[in-house]
Amino acid sequence: MKISSAESVVMEALWRQSPLTSEAIIAEVGAANGWTEGTVKVLISRLLKKKAIGAAADGRRYLYSPLVSRHAYVEEESQGLLDRLFDGRLAPLVTHFSEADKLSAEDIAALRALIERIGK
């Protein structure tokens, strides 16, 4: 399932707290992104069609909840990035960031600790 960057903003709101009404989602993400009520409702509709979120009737309104976990989404997006740009390999990604001076001392320390833990 492909979730666009705009749709992911709605998903993040639902991952933080759910279920939410469309009004609550609009309040959460609309103004912060310069989106109208109609724009947010279109994003909700797209996510429903993709089965990324579900809707449960609550009187005259619907409550929306994620059907895809954030963990599963991040895993799929991460693998997609690696596949598209680095032939599915992680080392070239890290090399790219190191050569572009994008790794902080904290990042390097975390990577060293990860490699040491994996090596044990």
For residue 34, what is the DSSP state?
A: T
In the prediction, which pLDDT does 40 show?
Answer: 98
Residue 27 contacts by C-beta under 8 Å, 6 or more apart in sequence?
none
Q: Pairing relation of β-strands 53-58 and 61-66? A: antiparallel
Q: What is the per-residue pLDDT for 113?
A: 95
Q: 3 and 11 in contact (C-beta within 8 Å)?
A: yes
- What gap in Å lies between CA 62 and CA 48, rounded to an integer? 12
pLDDT on residue 52: 97
Say how far apart CA 34 and CA 9 lie, in whole Å.
12
Q: Which pLDDT score, from 0 to 100, does residue 31 have?
A: 95
Mean pLDDT for back-to-back runs of 10 residues, the chain (120 residues):
94 98 97 97 98 97 97 94 94 90 91 91
Taking CA atoms, 29 is separated from 32, 91, 120, in Å, by 6, 35, 44
Would you state the pLDDT for residue 120? 84
pLDDT at residue number 100: 87
Of 58, 64, 54, the residue nearest 26 (C-alpha): 64
pLDDT value of residue 106:
94
pTM of the shown model: 0.82
Residue 108 one-letter amino acid = I
